[in-house]
Amino acid sequence: MRFKARPKQTKAIVLTALGSLVALIVLVLATIFTPLLAVENIKITGLQKIDEKKVAAAVKSQIGIPLALVTQQSVADQLSRFTLIESFSLVSELPHTLHIAISERQPICIVDVRGVSYLYDPAGVRLGQASYKDTYPRVLIKGEPKNSVSYSEAIDVLLALPAKLLPRISVIDAKSKDDVTMQLRGYAGQKIIWGDASQAALKSKVLAALIANQKPTDRVTFDVSSPTAPVVRYR
């Protein structure tokens, strides 16, 4: 025996469902397009080198915009003049706070440009003038790093080195992609023949082991261009 819903009951169910849907749509629209969840506060974190007041002034036009309508691109456009900003993320902290978490560029080396020493990040962005206290490796290139192939090759090697070894590198010279050499700090002037960019992880491990087995005063050259057959030459 089959049972059929009465027309009035069916109509009531449909109207109830439609009413719930409309209410939901109205709530969503109210949330997006009204000040219900608009930005009232902007929290900025991650800054060390950049003036927070200047960043806050650059993004202040986001105040009053509903959180759901704040876009990554609009904030990126406002922060584009801050070259020290490497990346950022947006976090909506309900009900009224826009959190901008910033990552600043970090120096990795020093490059001399027209007789002045500057700090640069891995992307070749200038971060300011270097001081005598900075112990970053000095990359030997001509001109600006931005479009320098030699700079890119040198940075690839520096990024492959163990973190503890990086401050010990005094100079790195990438004459070509197959001829990268370095010199350690210290009176002995210990040298490193790295070779090309292949087997970087293995070269780093082998180099760290070779350095650990030598005295800082030994005048030697560490050749890890063939990491499976490394050589230590005394000078």
Residue-wise pLDDT for 187-202, tens only, equals 999 999 999 989 999 9
d(CA 57, CA 84): 16
- Please count the other Cβ atoms lying within 10 Å of the Cβ belonging to residue 89: 12
Which one-letter amino acid corresponds to residue 3? F
SS3 call for 216: coil
pTM value is: 0.76
The larger pLDDT score, comparing residue 25 to residue 214, is at 214
Give every CB contact of residue 134 below 8 A, 6+ residues apart in sequence.
107, 110, 119
Q: b/e for 38-71, b at 16 or more Cβ within 10 A?
A: bbeebebebbeebeeeebeebbeebeeebbeebe
Residues of the chain with CATH 3.40.50: 109-234
Q: How far are the Cα atoms of 33, 92, 121 from residue 25, in angstroms, in the given order? A: 12, 21, 48
Average pLDDT over residues 33-46: 85
Give the confidence band of 157 by pLDDT, cuts at 50, 70, 90: very high
φ and ψ at residue 35, rounded to 5 degrees: -70, 10
Residues of the chain with CATH 3.10.20.310: 37-104
- Residue 191: per-residue pLDDT: 97
Helices (H), the chain: 7-33, 52-59, 72-79, 149-160, 200-212
Domain 37-104 coded CATH 3.10.20.310: yes
Query: Span 109-234: which CATH code?
Result: 3.40.50
The larger pLDDT score, comparing residue 161 to residue 36, is at 161
Statement: residue 225 has pLDDT above 70: yes
Q: How far are the Cα atoms of 21, 63, 196 from residue 157, in angstroms, in the given order? A: 59, 44, 9
